[in-house]
Amino acid sequence: MILEEFDKNKQAVVNPSDIIKSISGMPKVVVSCFARETFERMVNSFGGERIGETREANMVIPVYKANYKEASIGMFMSPVGAPACVCTAEEIFAMGAETIILFGTCGVLDKTIEDCSIILPDRAVRDEGTSFHYVPASDEIEVNPLYKELLIEILEELHCHYTVGKTWTNDAIYRETRDKAAQRKRSGCICVDMECSAMAALAKFREKEVFQFFYAADNLDGEAWDIRSLDNEANLTEKDKIAGLAMELAVRVAEQFHI
């Protein structure tokens, strides 16, 4: 199969460093999310200066640096979908980042998981194509091996409800059929996302760190699809709190870099 033709050579025809140069003073720890409204509120809340940018074919992605709790933390907005998300992360690493903390919505495969509650993935089903270019073929990949316990510590300090489990990474959102969702649920998946397995593969290949967590949004575990808080502008106050969780984790990770 073509997805089994993994090439471990780290030099490609085009490499991130061919496009992006390192940024002086680039924070080692960077926080990112997918939702436009939430990201704009993060920038307004945590402040910071614009220190660079990367580009997709049809958009500019600004990169900011904020000083939060005496730590230098980067911020950028990730594009949706495994290919675009990974390409942007590649360029953020080329700028000088070492750890990306990424948060966003996921669909739940267990209707008992409350809207906007935290989901911490520990494994991901690789039902996308990008990850197979970064690590050899397998059905699943380990997720968040380094900082999982650190986020759990923060969540318990703040008395936040959370669920740990396996995610189904599928970047074809209009092909999440009922039979496939039921099959993934039987295999132990509690949610579905679009980027997690690919970002975990990127981190392993580049020997960097990506920590990704979700907040529960639409419910796929019912007779009819329930959008809940999936919309960009829904439940913004609760999403602001989740952004605060990501920043708090970033500060504690940054302490390990003595910055």
Domain ranges of the chain: 24-255
Specify the higher pLDDT residue, 217 or 234.
Answer: 217
From the list 215, 229, 233, 26, the residue with the least C-alpha distance to 102 is 215
Task: Phi first, then psi: give them for residue 248, nearest 5 degrees.
Answer: -65, -40
Neighbours of 227 (CB within 10 A): 11
pLDDT of 259 > 80? The answer is no
Contact 102, 32 (CB under 8 A): yes
Looking at residue 29, its pLDDT comes to 98
Residue 55's beta-bridge partner residues? 60
**Secondary structure of 221-248 as H, E, C letters:** CCCCCECCCCCCCCCHHHHHHHHHHHHH
Structure tokens at 250: 């970033």
DSSP 26: -
From the list 79, 76, 68, the residue with the least C-alpha distance to 95 is 76
Band the pLDDT of 258: cuts 50, 70, 90: low
Return d(Cα 116, Cα 100) in angstroms, integer: 21
Task: Phi first, then psi: give them for residue 115, nearest 5 degrees.
Answer: -55, 130
Structure tokens at 147: 């900082």
Return d(Cα 207, Cα 210) in angstroms, integer: 10
* 229 alpha carbon, distance to own chain's centre: 18
pLDDT digits (tens, 9 = 90+) for 186-195: 999 999 999 9
**Residues of 52-71 as b/e, b for ≥16 C-beta within 10 angstroms?**
bebeeeeeebebbbbebeeb
Contact 209, 146 (CB under 8 A): yes
Neighbours of 140 (CB within 10 A): 19
To the nearest whole percent, how much of the chain has pLDDT over 90?
89
pLDDT digits (tens, 9 = 90+) for 148-175: 999 999 999 999 999 999 999 999 999 9
pLDDT digits (tens, 9 = 90+) for 10-29: 999 999 999 999 999 999 99
Band the pLDDT of 232: cuts 50, 70, 90: confident
Q: Which of 3.40.50.720, 1.10.357.10, 3.90.1300.10, 3.40.50.1580 is the CATH number of 24-255?
A: 3.40.50.1580
